[in-house]
Structure 1
Amino acid sequence: MDRSTQIKAMSSAPRLKILRLLADPQAHFGHQWSADPVEFGVCMTMIAEALELAQPTASRHVDLLKQAGFITVRKHAKWSYCKRDEAAIRDYLNWLGTELCAQA
């Protein structure tokens, strides 16, 4: 995984908010009717609304999180659904902790 892309993905308040919201999709997106937000993921439109951003702007944030490996995106009909990749996030946090605590 490209760590520089991951660092860039984590360096934005909107992207961090997306990850926080997706950490508990039932609490934040339980009203999603098109698919189960926990099992299937959260619709991009709902993420944009939660961020109070235009859809293209939210899509750019989601795309960088996807490039970093922190979320997966799957399409169904005309919608895109996003889910956190918990293993990738744990791997990044473990790597960051190791890097920050390494003896020079």
Structure 2
Amino acid sequence: DAGEAERLATALKALADPARLRLLSLIQAQPSGEACVCHLTEPLGLSQPTVSHHLKVLREAGLVEREQRGNWAYFRVVHAPLAALRELLV
């Protein structure tokens, strides 16, 4: 349907950036399945505002969820959209 196609296109656009692909991988690789922005800047070699921007794009595409804890935001991967993309592509 048109709505599903639009959601998948938005997800693909969000994943078209290498930094965002790395962010998803880094978050997923955490033992807890979630990561704080503060732990993602160094592995990417990007500033906190830049990482936050990339995470916002991923969140708006429905690929990650955000939870505020005190001063820090924690992110976890949302698997359903990725599974839908996989089904579309294979």
Q: TM tier, shorter chain?
A: 0.7 to 0.9
Question: Which of 16, 28, 43 is residue 36 of structure 2 equivalent to?
Answer: 43
- Percent identity over the alignment is 27
C-alpha RMSD over aligned residues = 1.5
- Aligned equivalents of 1:61 and 1:43: distance in 2? 13
TM-score w.r.t. structure 2 length?
A: 0.84
Other-structure match for 2:56:
63
Match of 2:9 in 1: 4
Q: Which residue of the partner structure matches residue 76 of structure 1?
A: 69
* Greater helix content: 2
Larger radius of gyration: 1
Higher relative contact order (CA closer than 8 Å, sequence separation 6+): 2
C-alpha deviation, 1:72, in angstroms: 0.6
Equivalent pair of 2:11/2:81 in contact (CA under 8 Å): no
- Residue of 65, 71, 95 corresponding to 2:88: 95
User: Mind listing any 5+ residue stretches in structure 2 that lack a counterpart?
Assistant: none
Equivalent residue for 2:20? 15
**Displacement over 3 Å in runs of 4+:** none
TM-score w.r.t. the length of structure 1 is: 0.73
